[in-house]
Amino acid sequence: MPIDQWLPGVLRAGALIALLIMLFILIFLIGESWPVLSKLSIAQLVTDSSWHPLEGAYNLMPMLTGTVLASTGALLLAIPLGLASALFTLFYAPRYLAVSYKRLIELLAGIPSVVFGFWGLTVLVPLINQWHPPGASLLAGILVLTLMILPTVTVTAHAALAAVSDELARNAAALGLSRWGTIQGVMLPAAKAGISAGIMLAAARALGETMAVLMVAGNVVQYPETVFDPVRTLAANIALETAYAMGDHRAVLFVSGLLLMGLIMVFSALAEALEKQQHA
């Protein structure tokens, strides 16, 4: 009984603190980018000829495009691979293989992003360079990001599928459904919400990933014409230039932070909309 008396208060306080921190970050971002938002027009961030902040040109669109392209590419690769790994370990692999495979994927999830970046820079980039110079490219970024979000997709899909009640699986078996019939007719629909939540988590990680992408993507501010062209993502831009930026340049970097946050908000809104549609 005493626990029930003080627990709600503690929980509410915790929730309140999380909310306040979020609000403070937002206020801080808006405050720091205010010099630019009030002085320059927002249109300039879209219509300027290029990104040369020291020469007064602040076009963020190529970097927004780069961010979205790199994340989308990585998701397109990681979703099928991750789902396949989860299904394989749960339904097809022999037990000893399933356990060690799952450990391996979990290990992959724990590798810090700089390590992926370093591997990308020393192995992947020279390899792509032999095929199609300069090597540091959108493709390298996509591949490194894929490796990084693959475990997120796999682990969450695995957890969602494993959480589907045994009863459903047994009923499906009793009805004489094949293994694939059970998976696609019963397990996947039942685990859909958990799987898509994992994908959104992976998407958010891909959008915000900085170090690994910075090391392999080449960081040239431009609209890529092929996957072999280098790109710069918003997060990489902040990391590359913040330390050396002053005045308007610095404020525009905070605007790109704001933009990144907006992008992630759009993603989570999309996830919610998807889920509602599914329940309707």
- 246 is an interface residue for another protein by CB under 8 A: yes
Please, which residue, 10 or 76, has the CB nearer to another protein?
A: 10
**Binding residues for another protein restricted to 221-240, rule: CB under 8 A:** 221, 230, 232, 239-240
Start-to-end C-alpha separation, the chain: 39
Exposure string for 131-152, b = 16+ CB within 10 A, e = fewer:
eeeebbbbbbbbbbbbbbbbbb
Check: CB of residue 79 under 8 Å from CB of residue 198: no
Q: Which of 168, 220, 261, 264 binds another protein (CB under 8 A)?
A: 220
Least distance to another protein, CB of residue 121, Å:
6
Please, which residue, 49 or 277, has the CB nearer to another protein?
A: 49
- What is d(CA 199, CA 195) in angstroms, rounded to the nearest whole number? 6
Q: Which of 29, 32, 91, 134 binds another protein (CB under 8 A)?
A: 134
Pull the structure tokens for residue 184. Answer: 């696609």
Mutual angle of helices 188-208 and 138-162, in 10-degree steps: 150
β partners of residue 52 = 57
Q: Which of 70, 125, 161, 260 binds another protein (CB under 8 A)?
A: 125
Q: Which of 144, 157, 215, 260 binds another protein (CB under 8 A)?
A: 215
Radius of gyration of the chain (CA): 22
Binding site for another protein (CB under 8 A): 8-10, 12-13, 16-17, 50, 52-55, 57, 121-122, 125-126, 129, 133-136, 214-215, 218-221, 230, 232, 239-241, 243-246, 249
